[in-house]
């Protein structure tokens, strides 16, 4: 029994002296409960709403104020013409547009019936339905308050129009997200073992004695995987178009160009992981497990970013897949031209430069 206790004590000493084990045992549950508790939510929050009010009367003002006062919606734009509707959604200035008919208050008082149209971006059909349901609920509550104000039997008839995905096909939503997830994980995992493999096999000396500087050594590691990733991208696009019937509504050239930038960012991230890890197993774990959870949760693939707390929204800005998935949805599903997504593309290019720069600076020019 004493020997058993001594072995148990010895194992405790090993655990307490290993910082990485302590972080996994005690730190990971904290991180996961925070991520899953705050990021994973089906609630609608901070939805940007644009209003096109042809009536501009007391009843529409009351409904608009009630929407803006709720925790779910933020009325951020007032439209003046029907031509502004699609432009607003294309620019992602608003997520939902509410249109009040002309003579809304007059119709409500004299006929007891008035019409409201909800126009939603249905690239994510489930999210569009949820947003519409929340808006319907608030407008219905406003109708009950109008009844108390003296309007007899007010009936607000709501029509919902879904843009970009009127058939409510789920493939329109998950294909851009899966593209981002697959390219990120595969590209990062492929390059994450490239440098550390040279360390383990003892062939790093051959690279170190070459006349090339660190930048070209690192880029030479990325080029073969870049070519192979182009084949992966081609396969994904062909399957999406011919098997899943997901259209490419926008420019194919722009979609491929942005995808190549994202592939390079993912490869650069894998090279950085390979540069700072000491074993291939550690590199694979870092590129596979560590990247997967933030990419799934914080990139907007499954859960809307605007519903997350502010700190998680800030962290998501450092997730490359967040920007890529947004670009793919807008080009592939909404059909917007490149001018509407150049800012997100510039962010990806900046990430690529930063990652390659850090990898080059930390690259070991001599064996330790």
Domains for the chain: give ranges and CATH numbers.
47-163 (3.40.1710.10), 171-362 (no CATH)
- Cite the beta strand spans of the chain per DSSP E: 47-53, 73-79, 96-100, 113-121, 155-163
Closest CA to 135 of 98, 179, 88, 84: 98
Mean pLDDT computed over 273-302: 78
Confidence of residue 40 (pLDDT cuts 50, 70, 90): low
Write out pLDDT tens, residues 201-215. 766 666 666 666 777
- Please choose, from the candidates 211, 198, 194, the residue with its C-alpha nearest in 3D space to the C-alpha of residue 267: 194
pLDDT value of residue 254: 93
Task: Quote the pTM value.
Answer: 0.81
Binning pLDDT at 50, 70 and 90, where does residue 368 land?
very low
At residue 88, the 3 state secondary structure works out as: helix
pLDDT in tens, 110-166: 887 888 999 988 888 888 888 888 888 888 888 777 766 666 666 788 888 888 887
- By C-alpha distance, which of 37, 41, 303, 324 is closest to 185? 324
Residue with tokens 């490869």: 267
């Amino acid at each position: 029994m004493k020997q058993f206790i001594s072995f148990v004590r010895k194992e405790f000493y090993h655990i307490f002296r290993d910082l990485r084990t302590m972080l996994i045992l005690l730190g990971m549950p904290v991180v996961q409960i925070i991520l899953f508790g705050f990021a994973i939510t089906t609630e609608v929050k901070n939805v940007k709403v644009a209003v096109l009010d042809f009536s501009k009367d007391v009843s529409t003002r009351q409904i608009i104020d009630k929407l803006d006062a709720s925790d779910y919606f933020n009325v951020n734009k007032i439209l003046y013409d029907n031509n502004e509707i699609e432009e607003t959604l294309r620019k992602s200035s608003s997520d939902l547009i509410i249109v009040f008919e002309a003579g809304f208050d007059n119709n409500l008082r004299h006929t007891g019936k008035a019409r409201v149209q909800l126009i939603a971006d249905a690239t994510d059909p489930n999210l569009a339905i949820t947003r519409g349901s929340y808006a319907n609920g608030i407008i219905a509550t406003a109708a009950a308050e109008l009844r108390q104000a003296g309007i007899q039997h007010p009936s607000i008839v709501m029509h919902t129009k879904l843009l970009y995905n009127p058939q409510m096909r789920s493939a329109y939503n998950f294909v851009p997200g899966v593209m981002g997830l697959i390219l990120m994980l595969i590209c990062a995992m492929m390059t994450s073992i490239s440098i550390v493999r040279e360390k383990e096999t003892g062939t790093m000396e051959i690279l170190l004695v070459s006349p090339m500087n660190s930048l070209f050594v690192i880029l030479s590691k990325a080029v073969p995987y870049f070519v192979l990733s182009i084949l992966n991208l081609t396969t994904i696009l062909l399957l999406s178009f011919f098997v899943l019937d997901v259209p490419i509504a926008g420019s194919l050239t722009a979609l491929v160009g942005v995808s190549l930038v994202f592939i390079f960012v993912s490869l650069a991230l894998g090279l950085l992981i390979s540069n700072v890890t000491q074993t291939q197993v550690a590199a694979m774990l870092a590129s596979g497990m560590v990247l997967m959870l933030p990419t799934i949760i914080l990139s907007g693939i499954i859960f809307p970013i605007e519903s997350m707390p502010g700190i998680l929204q800030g962290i998501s800005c450092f997730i490359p897949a967040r920007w890529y998935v947004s670009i793919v949805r807008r080009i592939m599903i909404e059909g917007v031209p490149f001018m509407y997504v150049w800012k997100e593309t510039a962010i990806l290019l900046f990430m690529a430069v930063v990652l390659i720069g850090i990898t080059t600076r930390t690259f070991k020019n001599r064996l330790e």
